[in-house]
Amino acid sequence: MQNRRETLKQTAVVAGLLASAGFPQFAHAAFNKAAFEAKSVQDAAKAAGAASMAESKDVTITGPDIAENGAVVPLGASTALPGVKHMLILVEKNPAALVAMFHVSDAVETNFTTRAKMGQSSDVYAVAIMNDGKALWAKKEVKVTLGGCGG
Amino acid sequence: MADPMRISAQASGDKATVRVLMSHEMESGQRKDASGKTVPAWYIQEVTANLNGKQVLAAEWGPAVSKNPFLQFAVKGAKAGDKIAVTWKDNKGESRTDEATVS
C-alpha cells in the first residue's frame, strides 16, 4: 500500500512531467504505467493503444541470434510504412514485456535502436501501432547465453 | 547531477543519424541486495529530442533498457550545423539535457 507521502511525491512527479510536455502533439507523453507493467506482449500493446494485432513483413526487428550477455542486447525496430504512431520494443519473457515505446513524429524516421536487458532466451517483438489503432508486429528469437559457459 | 551524455549526430543526405550514450544506473527493481532486500527501481522513464529547439522525438522507457543506455535514431531534414538536444528524466524526477551539433 502507498502512504500519503509517496502518493504526494508521485503526484508531483506526474504534474512535472505534464507541465514539461510542452508541445501539443506530445501532450500524451505522461508515463504510460499500465503498458510498462503489463506482463504479456499483447497486454502491453493494448495498453499502448493497439486495437487489433497482425503479423507484418513491413515491420523489422533486428537483434543478435545469440546474445552472450543478457544485460546488453542490442535491439532495433523499424518500418518504412507511413502513419505510424508508436513503435514498441518488447521482450516476451521479461518480468514486464515492454522495453521501450517511441512516439513517432514526421520529423524522425521510424527506425530506433537501443539496448535491452533480457533475463533469459526469448522472442523479441517490434510492434508498430498505426494511427488507426492497428498494430503490426514482427518477432525474432534471441538466445541468451548465461554465465558465459557457452551453455 | 548525473554525468553528461555522449551525443554524436552525423548528417548524410537529407537526414542526420543521432547516437546517444547516456550515463544511468537503470536499476530494474528485480534485483536483491546482499541482505535480501529488493533494490528499488531507478530508471529513465522519458527521453525527448529537439532539433533546433523543436521537439522531434519522445520516448518512454521501462526498467528493461540496459544500464548506461544507448539510443540511435534518424532526424529527417537535419543538416550540418543544426543543434540536436536530448533530455532524459528518470523515475526519481532527476533530469539532464545535453546538446550536440550535427556534423
Residue A25 has pLDDT above 60, yes or no: no
What was the ipTM of the complex prediction?
0.88
pTM: 0.80
User: Confidence class of residue A120 from pLDDT cuts 50, 70 and 90?
Assistant: confident
Q: Do A17 and B46 touch (CB under 8 A)?
A: yes
CATH superfamily of A39-144: SoxY domain (2.60.40.2470)
Convert the pLDDT of each residue in B49-87 to its tens digit.
999 988 999 998 888 888 889 999 999 888 888 899 999
Residue A20 has pLDDT above 50, yes or no: no
All residues of chain A having their beta carbon less than 8 Å from the beta carbon of residue B54 are 23, 107
CA neighbor of A94 nearest in space, from A110, A112, A75, A111: A75
Q: Is A133 left (phi over 0), alpha (psi -120 to 50) or beta?
A: left
Q: Do B70 and A114 touch (CB under 8 A)?
A: yes
Q: What residue in B sits closest to A98 (Cα-Cα)?
A: B62
Mean pLDDT of A71-87: 88
All residues of chain A having their beta carbon less than 8 Å from the beta carbon of residue B55 are 22-23, 26, 105
CATH topology of domain B6-101: Immunoglobulin-like (2.60.40)
Convert the pLDDT of each residue in B10-48 to its tens digit.
988 888 999 999 988 888 888 888 888 888 888 888 899
> With an 8 Å Cβ cutoff, is A47 touching chain B?
no
Find out whether A99 and A90 touch, Cβ atoms under 8 Å. yes
Find out whether A92 and A44 touch, Cβ atoms under 8 Å. no
By Cβ distance, the residue of A103, A113, A117 closest to B59 is A103
> With an 8 Å Cβ cutoff, is B77 touching chain A?
yes
Residue B10 burial (CB count, 10 A): 14
Q: Which residue has the higher pLDDT, A17 or A83?
A: A83
Domain ranges of chain B: 6-101
> With an 8 Å Cβ cutoff, is B35 touching chain A?
no
Whole-number pLDDT of residue B85: 92
> Which of the residues A33, A117, A122, A124 would you substitute to probe the B interface, choosing the one with the greatest number of B C-beta atoms within 10 Å?
A117
Locate A34 and state its grid cell.
499500465
Alpha-carbon span A100 to A115, nearest angstrom: 10
Whole-number pLDDT of residue B64: 86
Q: What residue in A sits closest to B49 (Cα-Cα)?
A: A108
Domain ranges of chain A: 39-144
Torsion of the alpha carbons at A18, A7, B67 and B62, rounded to the nearest 10: -60
Whole-number pLDDT of residue B19: 92
Mean pLDDT of A98-111: 88
Mean pLDDT of A56-81: 88
Whole-number pLDDT of residue A13: 57
Whole-number pLDDT of residue B70: 92
